[in-house]
Structure 1
Amino acid sequence: MKKPSDASSLATSRVRDLSDSSFSSTPLVDPGITVLRGDFSVSNIVEAAHFGTTFVARIRANPHVIVWERDPATYEHILFIFVTHGTMVFSSTGGYSTSPDGGICLIYPGAEDFTFESKTPTEVLTFSFDGRKLGILVSETTRSGQLRANSPTARVAYAYLSSLLKTSKEIQGGSDKPLREMTQHLARALVADTAPVSGSKEHLLERATATINNWATSPSFGVPSLASILGVSRRTLERVYAEVHETPGFAIRAARLKIARTMIASNPTARFESVAVASGFGSVDSLRRALKSSRISDEPRELL
């Protein structure tokens, strides 16, 4: 039997807003949190800071079990949890993981609900942000990656975030831009550090294909985004594709063309503007150019 949380107390907390020199009432603890066992509330937040959709908090709590029921507003959020004391168990429909002292839990974008369980007193440092707003694209292939707790990136991240919590109280209005940029760079570096190490070239191509199929409909998705998601340099990506006489740019364009053709075949009266946007080309001109340069010889002439 679930123990309903006090929505009013869990929904907001007075934390330091780095975009303003004064305190503000901010939705730090998601109202989708339900306490199943133990006590967990805003009072557990020792210190916190935020700007925009980026939140950093240090939390201390006695044994508890809580469920985070995600809603569309948090589907794109990425959450890092640095366990500094005690042991946390994190579980979802995709499985579970345990993070002891010095461990790190990573929750990627998605709609899955998560259960957090602590059987001993714990202290954690959390870092959450909206990946899309920072230009971070995460595919299903990236979700298999593991963040190494002893990696240089993880150690630097923990030190920086701890310092941010201490110094945020000294930030004056209008002077937070450097911190914003540093924190955004840190977020990107942490996500990149979770990317699985590339195995064979064939495996990299398989991952690239899966990623392209997931993101082809996004107009902003391109070769730089693909390389970033896969955790490799653009040069490495282009070299691997060259061995199969192709380019990553062509692979992305081919995926979009396939989507466009499917849309037109299923609805011959569809407007080209709608097809161009929905297939990821963004504009009719881009779609037409891609059709004309396509290697596929059976392209319907009326589409050109």
Structure 2
Amino acid sequence: MERGARVVRSTADVCETDASAYWTDAVCSAFVPVRVRPTAPAPLHGRVEHVNLDGLGFTLVRSGAQRVDRTRTLIARGGGDDVLANIQLTGEGRVGQDGRRALLTPGAMTLVDSTRPYTLEFAGPFSQLVVQVPRDRMARRSLARATAVALDPDGPARLVADFLVGLERRQRADPRAAASLVPHAAGLLDCAAGWAQEATPGRASASALTRERVHDVLRRHARDPRLDVDTAAAACGISRRTLFRVLAEHGESFGALLRTLRVDHARRLLRAAPERTVASVAYACGFGGESQLHRAFRAVTGLTPGAYRAGAVLAADGTDRQ
């Protein structure tokens, strides 16, 4: 699918007898393989609108009473390693994962990890915006204590939900403006994951707090070419061994986190300053040179910096063909 191209699938386009099967296929195509079954006598009907914004999926779902299961068997068949932010727009939904269940009312949001089993249940008509973020785009890689936690619409997470809903709407009217805002989405969802963990009983621990300090140092100093493990550990007041251990407990590594943050900075510069040379961008983002940026950029995005910049320009013109 072309980046920036909106794909719409609706059961209104098929006959009644094929509606439920078509709906299941539409949901699986938009997200990951799941089992969908109606919880009311009538066949399933619904509409999915999906758009890919710079590698992040934004999907509007409107449908009726149903249950969605992501099982271990389906996970074994494949699918992405993604974080899903489910934002309830209308109706109510229940989300279950990691032994927790969240009730979603309009304006509430919860996070789901696509690599572990989960369930979604809707007792009646509903609509959601689901934002799908590859895990390597988020600094916080472990969501074990953040999934299926309802982030209240009256709390700070409402700011994140409103930003994501507004970004999806802006893409319809002004794709170029929407593209310039996309880099902020993963960071905001990382904040939401932190709030969800804080809302989970028993979350606080010395290890978790240390990890937060490490992430903070990396975010603030990623563009400094002198930043290494020893420097970061000293800034956190811990040993390098402790730093490695704390990150490993959450499936993270210092090198991968630093590389992703620097590439994220490079992505923003490549888009915002097309007149800058790739070498200049590399040095501005903490890389030792253009070749280091090329290797890191390809590892994170699958593209070279030049190809990414060309694609960003085309997307801004509404003519992206990547």
Helix, strand or coil: the match of 2:119?
strand
Tell me how far apart the structure 2 counterparts of residues 161 and 251 of structure 1 sit (CA, whole Å): 36
Q: How many residues align?
A: 218
Q: Residue 67 of structure 1: SS of its match in structure 2?
A: strand
Aligned partner of 1:119 in structure 2 is 123
Rounded to whole Å, the distance in 2 between the matches of 1:136 and 1:50 is: 22
Match of 1:156 among 154, 159, 163: 159
CA distances 1:243-262 after superposition (whole Å, capped 9, x unpaired): xxxx15331346899xxxxx
Q: 2:62 corresponds to which residue?
A: 60
1:140 is paired with a residue whose SS is coil
Match of 1:251 among 220, 242, 262: 242
Q: Give the CA deviation at 1:157.
A: 2.2
SS at 1:194 equivalent: helix
Alignment-derived partner of residue 223 in structure 1 = 214
Greater helix content: 2
2:122 aligned with 1:131: no
Q: TM-score, normalised by structure 1?
A: 0.54
Q: Give the whole-Å Cα distance in 2 for the aligned partners of 1:198 and 1:96.
A: 12
Secondary structure of 1:196's aligned partner:
helix
User: Which residue of structure 2 aligns with residue 102 of structure 1?
Assistant: 107
Match of 2:81 in 1: 76
**Deviation of residue 280 (structure 1)?**
6.4
Closer/same/farther in 2, CA of residues 280 and 151 from structure 1, 3 Å limit:
closer
- The partner residue of 1:189 within 180, 191, 212 is 191
Report the alpha carbon displacement of residue 102 of structure 1 after superposing the two structures with TM. Answer: 3.4
CA-to-partner distance for each residue in 1:135-158, whole Å, 9 max, x for gaps? 431253455866333223x22222
| Deviations 1:251-293, CA, capped at 9 Å, x for gaps | 1346899xxxxxxxxxxxxxxxxxxxxx9698xxxxxxxxxxx
Sequence identity, in percent? 12
1:88 paired with 2:93, answer yes
Tell me if the contact between 2:59 and 2:131 (Cα under 8 Å) persists in the aligned partners. Answer: yes
CA distance in 1, matches of 2:146, 2:218: 12
Task: Give the Cα–Cα distance (whole angstroms) in 2 for the partners of residues 163 and 256 of structure 1.
Answer: 33
Aligned in 2, Cα 1:5/1:249: closer, same or farther, shift over 3 Å? farther
Shift of 1:189: 2.6
Amino acid corresponding to residue 167 of structure 1 in structure 2: R
User: Counterparts in 2 of 1:10-25, with a 5 A limit?
Assistant: 10-11=24-25
Report which of the two structures shows the higher radius of gyration computed on alpha carbons: 1
- 1:106 deviates by 2.2
Partner of 2:282: none
1:256 & 1:107 partners in 2: Cα distance? 21
| Structure 1 position 51, deviation (Å) | 2.5
Aligned CA RMSD, in angstroms, stands at: 4.6
Structure 1 residue 66, shift from structure 2 partner: 2.4
Match of 1:290 in 2: none
- The answer to whether the 8 A contact 1:48-1:55 is kept is yes
SS of equivalent residue, structure 1 residue 117: strand
Change (3 A) 1:28 1:121: same
Distance 1:206 1:90 in 2: 28
Q: Distance in 2 between matches of 1:248 and 1:147?
A: 35
Write the distance in 2 (CA, Å) between the matches of 1:63 and 1:143. Answer: 23
Quick one: distance in 2 between partners of 1:141 and 1:129?
A: 18
Q: Does 1:44 align with 2:47?
A: yes
How high is the TM-score relative to the length of structure 2?
Answer: 0.51
Instruction: Tell whether the 8 Å contact from 1:4 to 1:35 is kept in structure 2 after alignment.
Output: no
1:89, CA displacement in angstroms?
A: 2.0
